[in-house]
């Protein structure tokens, strides 16, 4: 029902950035190589995510808005080992319950695209339209029908910053995908999609900054830790950005963050927070990503082990330059 969807929306969609995150994850799941995100008024007025992924046929396009209508979960055991980013099948239904959504999509091999609109949970009849291959989802007037939630949004600048950060994290986690992030006025950043994390960092923070970054690489039987960390000369707190990825997913974990920061401070005796982007690849059954619907917080069954490995990787990267 649409009420159930609105309730679910309260957990999945708390602000424009949560929509941006879900829409990007869907595009990545669809195999997109190019994703563009456009924000109007920080995403409050409108979010458009366009991809060149697999697209949907007419039936899929209608199904997409049904709650728990995921095309991605086939077996119970998939809940333990999650391969795709989306797995709950409620993001689109939840977003559509609290906004005006227009979905335009065209599958490879199809002569035409299909377009459906959903407003406050009510779906319009499907139209056939001209469209490029892939999917375009427009989310307009977020929370227009739930004023209580609208009230909790912050300023346009703050909401935009949170959305942009979400796109940044996605771009860092997938350097092989070309991301464009723009407002209605101008392009904020554009990544080349050539697979090079440093190229993404250059697009986000500037070429000069990216050149200063130290490469991290540590491979043990259980973990593969890769990424970059800011050099000692580059301690500007205003630029401080911490990006952690586990099995390709942007996550937060206080213990690992502290391991990075502590490792950095111990080596350099500098009180400032490092800029870093660190990716951990590991056995998915030792990671709990479903702690929260936003899937940001991550829990490790062997947290101390993970921290030790990350701290070691950071120490190694710094030692090599201090030599
Ligand atoms: P989930 O991602 O958990 O499956 P969603 O509500 O996010 O659930 O999406 C529902 C379904 O809509 C997906 O399973 C997928 O089949 C389809 N879908 C959504 N976005 C896209 C997209 N950008 N490209 C192709 N298919 C999509
Ligand atoms: Mg999804």
Q: Is 135 in the pocket of ligand 1 (CB under 6 A)?
A: yes
**Using only C-alpha atoms, what is the Rg of the chain?**
20
- Of residues 36 and 292, more confidently modeled: 36
Give the start-to-end residue ranges of the domains of the chain. 2-190, 212-322
Q: Is 191 in the pocket of ligand 1 (CB under 6 A)?
A: no
Long-range Cβ contacts of 82-87 (<8 Å, 24+ apart): 82/284, 82/289, 82/290, 83/284, 84/29, 85/25, 85/26, 85/28, 85/29, 85/248, 85/249, 86/22, 86/25, 86/26, 86/29
Q: Where residue 72 falls among pLDDT bands split at 50, 70, 90?
A: low
DSSP for 20-70, please give it. Answer: HHHHHHHHHHTT-SEEEEEEEGGGTSEEEEEE-S----HHHHHHTTSTT--
Q: Are strands 34-40 and 46-51 parallel, antiparallel or unpaired?
A: antiparallel
Close Cβ partners of 269 (under 8 Å, ≥ 6 residues apart): none
Digit-coded pLDDT (tens) for 118-163 = 997 789 999 999 999 999 999 999 999 999 899 999 999 999 999 9
Mean pLDDT of the chain: 87
Nearest CA to ligand 1 atom 8: 89
Q: State the architecture of 2-190 in CATH terms.
A: 2-Layer Sandwich (3.30)
Burial status of residue 254 (CB atoms within 10 A of its CB: 0-12, 13-18, 19 or more): exposed
Q: Is 56 in the pocket of ligand 1 (CB under 6 A)?
A: yes
Mutate to test the pocket of ligand 1, among 64, 65, 102, 110 (most ligand atoms within 8 A of CB): 64
* Lowest mean per-residue pLDDT among 44-53, 143-152, 215-224, 268-277: 268-277
**C-beta separation of 222 from 252 below 8 A:** no
Q: What CA–CA distance (Å, rounded) separates 60 from 321?
A: 52
Mutate to test the pocket of ligand 1, among 8, 22, 28, 29 (most ligand atoms within 8 A of CB): 29
Coil/strand/helix, residue 237:
helix
- ∠ CA 40-42-45, rounded to 5°: 50
Half-sphere exposure of 29 (CA within 13 A, CB side): 20
**Distance linking the first and last C-alpha atoms of the chain:** 63
Q: How confident is the model over 191-201, as a mean pLDDT?
A: 95
Q: What's the gap in Å between 87 CA and the centre of ligand 1? A: 9
Q: How confident is the model over 55-71, as a mean pLDDT?
A: 84
CA of 55, closest atom in ligand 1: 25
Digit-coded pLDDT (tens) for 155-192 = 999 999 999 999 999 999 999 999 999 999 999 999 99
**C-beta separation of 322 from 214 below 8 A:** no
Distances (CA, A) of 107 to 50, 128, 261, 276: 14, 12, 45, 38
Q: State the architecture of 212-322 in CATH terms.
A: 2-Layer Sandwich (3.30)
CA of 87, closest atom in ligand 1: 3
Q: What CA–CA distance (Å, rounded) separates 237 from 207?
A: 18
Nearest residue to 121 (alpha-carbon basis) of 107, 101, 142, 135: 101
Q: Is 95 in the pocket of ligand 1 (CB under 6 A)?
A: no
Q: Where residue 271 falls among pLDDT bands split at 50, 70, 90?
A: low
Q: What CA–CA distance (Å, rounded) separates 21 from 255?
A: 23
CA of 94, closest atom in ligand 1: 6
- Of residues 50 and 73, more confidently modeled: 50
Predicted pLDDT of residue 77 = 46
Q: What's the gap in Å between 93 CA and the centre of ligand 2? A: 10
Taking 70 as the threshold, does the pLDDT of residue 267 lie above it?
Answer: yes
Q: Is 139 in the pocket of ligand 1 (CB under 6 A)?
A: no
Nearest CA to ligand 1 atom 12: 64
Predicted pLDDT of residue 233 = 47
Q: How confident is the model over 33-56, as a mean pLDDT?
A: 98
Predicted pLDDT of residue 89 = 74
Which element (helix H / strand E) includes 139?
Answer: strand 134-140
Q: Where residue 257 falls among pLDDT bands split at 50, 70, 90?
A: very high
Digit-coded pLDDT (tens) for 234-253 = 444 444 488 999 998 888 89
Digit-coded pLDDT (tens) for 86-122 = 446 789 999 999 999 999 999 999 999 999 999 977 8
- Of residues 248 and 300, more confidently modeled: 300
- Of residues 141 and 7, more confidently modeled: 141
Q: Where residue 36 falls among pLDDT bands split at 50, 70, 90?
A: very high
Q: What is the 3 state secondary structure string of 77-106?
A: HHHCCCCCCCCCCCHHHHHHHCCEEEEEEE
């Amino acid at each position: 029902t649409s009420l159930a969807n609105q309730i679910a929306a309260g957990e999945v969609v708390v602000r424009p950035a949560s929509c941006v995150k879900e829409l990007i994850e869907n595009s990545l799941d669809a195999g997109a190589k190019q994703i563009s995100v456009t924000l109007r008024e920080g995403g409050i007025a409108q979010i458009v995510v366009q991809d060149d992924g697999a697209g949907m046929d007419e039936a899929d396009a209608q199904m997409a808005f049904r709650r728990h209508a995921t095309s991605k979960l086939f077996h119970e055991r998939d809940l333990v080992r999650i391969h795709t980013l989306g797995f709950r099948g409620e993001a689109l239904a939840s977003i559509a319950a609290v906004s005006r959504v227009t979905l335009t999509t065209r599958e490879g091999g199809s002569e035409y695209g299909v377009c459906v609109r959903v407003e406050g949970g009510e779906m319009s009849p499907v139209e056939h339209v001209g469209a490029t291959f892939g999917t375009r989802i427009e989310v307009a007037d977020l929370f227009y029908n739930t004023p209580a939630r609208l009230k909790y949004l912050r300023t346009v600048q703050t909401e935009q910053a949170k959305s942009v950060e979400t796109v940044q994290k996605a771009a860092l986690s997938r350097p092989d995908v070309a991301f464009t992030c723009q407002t209605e006025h101008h392009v904020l950043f554009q990544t080349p999609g050539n697979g090079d994390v440093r190229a993404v960092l250059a697009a986000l923070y500037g070429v000069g900054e990216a050149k200063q970054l130290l490469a991290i690489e540590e491979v043990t039987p259980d973990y593969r830790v890769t990424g970059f960390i800011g050099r000692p000369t580059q301690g500007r707190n205003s630029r401080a950005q911490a990006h952690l990825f586990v099995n390709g997913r942007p996550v937060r974990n206080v213990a690992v963050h502290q391991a990075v920061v502590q490792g950095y401070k111990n080596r350099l005796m500098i009180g400032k927070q490092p800029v870093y982007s660190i990716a951990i690849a590991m056995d998915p059954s030792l990671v709990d990503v479903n702690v929260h619907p936003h899937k940001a917080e991550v829990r490790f069954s062997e947290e101390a082990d993970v921290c030790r490995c990350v701290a070691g990787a950071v120490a190694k990267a710094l030692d090599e330059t201090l030599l």
